[in-house]
Structure formats: C-alpha cells, structure tokens
Amino acid sequence: MARIELRGLRKQFGGGVVALDRLDLDVASGEFVSLLGPSGCGKTTALRIVAGFELPDEGEVLVDGADVLHLPASRRNMGMVFQSYSLFPNMSAKSNVEYPLRIRRQPRAERDRRARELLGLVGLAKQVDRYPHQLSGGQQQRVALARALAHEPGVLLLDEPLSALDAKVRVQLREEVRRIQLELGITTLYVTHDQEEALSISDRVAVMSEGRVEQVGTPAEVYARPRTAFVASFVGTVNRLEARVVSSVERTVRCGEVVLTVAADVFDHSDGSSVALYLRPEDVGLRPTLNGDGGGGGGGDNGLPGRVRSVTFLGPVTRVGVDCGLGALVADVSSETALGLSLDQPVSVVVDSARLRTLAAS
C-alpha cells in the first residue's frame, strides 16, 4: 500500500480565498488518517488536490516518494467516495462497481466475480442488480465504496461520505468503513467535520483550521493533550478559564480567587504571564455539600464551593453546569451521582489537576 506526503500545499481561489495555507501531512502505508475541521477550513480542497481534481499553487503531493501532481486524476490509481451521491444513474450497482474494471479492459467473468465479491464485502450481495434510484442513501454510499475499491487502488479517499445519512446509519457505516479498511490494509484519508466520527475510527487525526494542520496525533493524544486553543475547543467539549501564573517553579496559577497547582507534563510559562486553563467536563468532579454554604471551608484537594446552575441528562452521563470560585464550569458526572443534585444546590467542585492543560493566552 502507498504512503502519502503532502508538502507545503497552498491553494488560493479566485476572490482571494486562501483555502490551504502551507499544509503538511504524512500518511503512513496502511494508515487511516482523518482530516478534521470546521466547515470551510480546506479539507475538501486538500483531498481534491490529492485526487487530482485541483492543482495547488505551491507544494507537492508525494505517493511512495514520487510526485503525482503532474498526473491526471484518471492515472493516479486512487479510489474516492464523494460527499454527494456519485453513482452512475444509468448503471446497476454491479455495473457501477465494474466500471473501473471495464475501463481497464478486464475480462467479463473476472469483472463479474470481483464486483460481486466487493458488493458482498459492503453487505449488498442481494442488491447487485438494483439501480441507484432503487437504493437508500446508505446503500448508495456502500456501492460507491465498493466502486472506489474495485481497481485495488493504493489510496482510498473519502470526503464526508456519511454526512447525508441519518445518525444511526452513519455510526453503523463508519464502523464498516473502518472494518473494510483494516481488512484490506489500504492507506486512507478521510475527511469529516464530525469529531466523534474522526476520533472513533482513525489511527490518527489531523485537526485543521483555516487551511493548516493544527495538530496531528492519535485520537487519544488530540483529545487529552491539545496543542492549541483551537484544537482544545474543537475536539470535544472543554472548560476554558483565564488564569495568571503565580510561580512557574511550583507550577501554580491563580484563577479568580483560587490558586491551583498544575500537574501537567509541560509548563513553560513565565511568572505573571496570563494563561488559559483547559479542563474536560469529565475531569471535573462534584460532591453534594450537605451543610449548605460552607463559606471558605473549601475542603482539601482543590475542592471548591459552588452551586448547581443547570442539569442536562445525556444518557450515560449528566452534564451539570456549576458556578464556583473559578467561574462557570460544566461537569460530566455519572447519571447516578446526578440524581442527588438539584438546581441551586451547593456542591463541592473537585478539579483533577493532573488533567489541567495550560496554554499561553492569545
């Protein structure tokens, strides 16, 4: 399987829109990498440059070390699944899958065998003779995936293939995409703006913003150790708090009236500088305080007095909004714990300082 390298890609469209601004990315052979970012950040543009539908103004695209930019799309040997339905309406599911093989003049029997095998792989063994208008959206995208794989491409490109489908089908189909990718071991570049989707099926996630890659890492890395404010806020939900460094040696910061010790791995801020604290909702603990307003009691291990402001049931967890000495926070607690919480109730807020992230305030 192929290895892809994107080097310093830059693309400016007419009207001065800079879609890509020196984008770099490496995808190892057989790896599944997601391009994750908000609408308009250039994900599709990057993918279309790799596929050969668009030329960059600067930079290069290397496949197994060889520049492919001079090759037309039809000669790049890549398979692509598009965001909008792209099946040929005049051909049955099987003929659609056979199309790349017909172009390559494979014998009829071989084409037939391969198309049936692939349609079986995507779970459509019974629908081989259906036409696109007789298939559901999810089934159409399955056929599109089978077609993209038919000529055994070295690279699989997917541009939000599931965005037109409803939530249940989307979850089911993304797992299948991943299963098939692992089964074939094909190098895959997957575009999505859905962070849950990216985190759940990728080997690595490249978080994009305004035409650049902000951070590349495993889903766990990107989630737990965001390197920029953008990544922290885009991937998952996060509490952001303004703070000032008290002592860089002791790693203490003042946030509101509270002084916190930051136990995170890196801490390179100078005394007195302003920083932003990032804290995931699941890293905030709540304990109901029974004796009402404890005043400055506080309790040990960073426990702070606070009040419940909102309670939202999310299924496995309940998201609780609290006001405390740090400001307004959201905390995810088990729904069992949440049973003991009601609006305006005084609580003790416990912050897991090992999970606190600090970034220089912009």
Ligand X SMILES: Nc1ncnc2c1ncn2[C@@H]1O[C@H](COP(=O)(O)OP(=O)(O)OP(=O)(O)O)[C@@H](O)[C@H]1O
Binding residue (CB under 5 A) for Mg ion from 6, 11, 44, 158: 44
The whole-angstrom separation of Cα 71 and Cα 124 is: 33
Residue in this structure with the two tokens 């390197």, named with its chain if needed: 227
Residues comprising the chain, all counted = 362
The whole-angstrom separation of Cα 61 and Cα 341 is: 55
254, amino acid identity: R
Nearest approach, Cβ of residue 49 and Mg ion (Å): 13
Binding residue (CB under 8 A) for other proteins from 74, 270, 291, 362: 74
Q: Which region, judged by CB under 5 A, interacts with Mg ion, from 18-26, 38-46, 58-66, 232-240?
A: 38-46
Structure tokens given for 352: 């897991």
Q: Is 13 in the site for ligand X (CB under 6 A)?
A: yes
> How do beta strands 304-313 and 317-324 pair?
antiparallel
Binding residue (CB under 8 A) for other proteins from 6, 36, 148, 356: 148
Q: What is the DSSP string of 187-216?
A: EEEEEES-HHHHHHH-SEEEEEETTEEEEE
Q: Rounded to 5 degrees, what are φ and ψ at 149?
A: -95, -10
Kindly state the number of chain residues that form the binding site for Mg ion, as judged by CB under 5 A.
Answer: 1
Nearest approach, Cβ of residue 215 and ligand X (Å): 16
Q: Is 52 in the site for ligand X (CB under 6 A)?
A: no
Between residue 10 and residue 69, which ones bind other proteins under the rule CB under 8 A? 51-53
Nearest approach, Cβ of residue 324 and other proteins (Å): 38
CA 18 to chain centre: 22
Nearest approach, Cβ of residue 86 and ligand X (Å): 15
Q: Which stretches does DSSP call E strand in the chain?
A: 4-12, 18-27, 32-36, 58-63, 66-67, 78-81, 155-159, 187-192, 204-209, 212-217, 239-247, 252-255, 258-261, 274-279, 284-288, 304-313, 317-324, 327-334, 346-351, 357-360
Nearest approach, Cβ of residue 262 and other proteins (Å): 49
Nearest approach, Cβ of residue 98 and ligand X (Å): 30
Residue 251's binding partner out of Mg ion, ligand X, other proteins, none, with CB under 5 to 8 Å set by partner kind: none
Residue 103's binding partner out of Mg ion, other proteins, ligand X, none, with CB under 5 to 8 Å set by partner kind: other proteins
Q: Is 212 in the site for ligand X (CB under 6 A)?
A: no
Between residue 122 and residue 141, which ones bind Mg ion under the rule CB under 5 A? none
Q: Is 43 in the site for ligand X (CB under 6 A)?
A: yes
The whole-angstrom separation of Cα 314 and Cα 296 is: 32
Binding residue (CB under 6 A) for ligand X from 4, 41, 51, 333: 41
Q: Is 39 in the site for ligand X (CB under 6 A)?
A: yes
Structure tokens given for 208: 């994009």
The footprint of ligand X (CB under 6 A) covers 13-14, 17, 19, 37, 39-45, 193
In the complex, the residues that contact other proteins under the rule CB under 8 A are 51-53, 72-75, 77-80, 82, 84-90, 99-100, 102-104, 131-133, 144, 147-148, 150-151
